[in-house]
Amino acid sequence: MRQCPVCGSRFSNDARFCPYDGEPMSVIDESAGPGLVGQLIAGRYQVESVLGEGGMGVVYRAVHAALGKTVALKVLRNDMAHDEVVAQRFVQEAKALSRIQHPHVVEVYDFGRTAEGVTYFVMEYLEGRSLRDAIRDDSLSPRDIRRIAKAIAEGLSAAHSAGVIHRDLKPENIHLVRRDGDSSFVKILDFGVAKVAGVSKLTRNGAIFGTPHYMSPEQAQGLAVDVRSDIYSYGIILYEMITGRLPFDSDSFVRLLSQQMFDAPPAMELSPEMRDLGSLEPIVMKCLEKKSEDRYRGFDAVIEALERAEAKTSSRTVVMIALAAGVLAAAGLGAAAWALIGSSQSTAETVRAAAPSSAEPTPATPVRAEPAKAEIDEHPVQTATAVREPSMVTIESDPPGAAVSLDGIVLGITPVTVPRPYDGSKMLQVELDGRPPKVFALDSHGPDRLLVRLPSPRPRPTRPVTTTAPKTTTTPTTTAPKPAEPTPTTSRRMGREVVDPWGE
């Protein structure tokens, strides 16, 4: 396990930064969660062993005492149980999952709180491996990747239709199980930071949720998110499945968020085994657009694009088989030609029989084809070019401790290192409480260190001294005296006490 040294949150061993405060995680060696192994929860769930631990809860393997059915029991951690917001978010995860009924989303059976105050919910028990393990082992074929990509999109489409935005998509939260002869059947897990339609108290704007390597630009800025934030995270997962590496990576939390907000993803470098997936690159790049309005409108559009890309790739395969058969026939190898033609017809029938569901018949072994661009949408999609490393600049201030923001996005407190824009300029503001801010343009080139001297705090304006007329008693037969004119001495005293707050 790893633990944040600042807030104390614990996560799996793959976590590098705390999603709550951005601090690097440190490795800890302690047993997971409350000691529930061997206990009977709610009078019906016998806890057998620990399966894993996350930021909020511990997941146990348990058996229903009456039915003998193995289940996964997720329990709120003891050190989190007294945090009202965390407890509400734990309950929200159970409710979010219960709203989604789809084969590719983990199913929730039960939810409750024991007499001892243990909050829990019960899910289906999944045997298999995480998508993270599959990527690390490099064991996914192009056909596996296509099926997994489509299954994830179908599950998230169902979640969005139920009003649930995941907000923390990553390979660790996608499980691959064996189901109906498919060894890579997708199950989407861990809706712990999900945003549920109609629930706003736990998902306020300005709070950053998610995992930095898979975080959308709007998440990185703490802005409100919609379904297109999940589409961005999905694009990063596709990129990683196909290439084996992340599009954005850094040992600095601030630099990583900066990449998500400003940097274009590098072009996908395909290994010879993955060249058949070249038609997916425009889809990935459209998912990774920095502006949410430039991405797909929803996962239904993503699924349509995936199906068109697969059909186009399969058609190219059929054509190449036919051409190869013609060459063999011309060379007098009739039997081999007829074998290839039969394979071509089988492949064509597989393409025509493909249904929108994730269960597909096993196609014939494809002949490798060069990557082809798929027609994704009515709007053309441009493949991103390789990205050069931006130059960095360290911002210091006198006095230190000033907030630094770039185009309105707060990047840190001085001294802080920020990336320069690739082209043009961006507005950099350095501000310290009580002092006028300094605003200037940060260009793509310049020194690697800038010292910003902030002016002294503005003096508070004093209230001017006024002279009031003395009170007099009036009678019907007398006239009130005129107020006395201020003396020259009083005028000079007022001049000394009145200060122009905006003067230099």
Give the max Cα distance, the chain: 137
Q: Residue 368: which residues within 8 A CB-CB, separation 6 or more? A: 272, 275, 276
Burial (CB count within 10 angstroms: exposed 0-12, middle 13-18, buried 19+), residue 128: middle
DSSP tag of 138:
T
Residue 21 to residue 209: CA distance in whole angstroms: 10
Side by side, the strands of the sheet bearing 182-188 are 128-130, 174-179, 182-188
Q: Which one of the listed residues 110, 168, 182, 407 is annotated catalytic?
A: 168
DSSP tag of 445:
S
Quick check: is 168 catalytic?
yes
Residue among 99, 118, 240, 222 at smallest CA distance from 169: 240
Strands 70-76 and 57-64, by their bridges, are antiparallel
Phi and psi angles of residue 146, each rounded to the nearest 5 degrees, phi first: -60, -45
Which tokens is 169 given?
Answer: 């998509």
Are 271 and 245 in contact by the 8 Å Cβ rule? The answer is no
Are 235 and 172 in contact by the 8 Å Cβ rule? The answer is no
Q: How far is CA 27 from CA 17, 132, 248, 398, in A?
A: 12, 19, 23, 37
Q: How far is CA 3 from CA 19, 20, 24, 34, 192, in A?
A: 11, 12, 9, 16, 18
Which tokens is 80 given?
Answer: 């989190």
Beta strand ranges found along 365-453 (DSSP E): 392-398, 403-406, 409-413, 416-419, 425-431, 438-443, 449-453
Q: How far is CA 259 from CA 221, 253, 449, in A?
A: 12, 10, 20
Can you give the three-state secondary structure of 449-467, one letter per residue?
EEEEECCCCCCCCCCCCCC
Residue 377 to residue 296: CA distance in whole angstroms: 9
Catalytic residues: 168
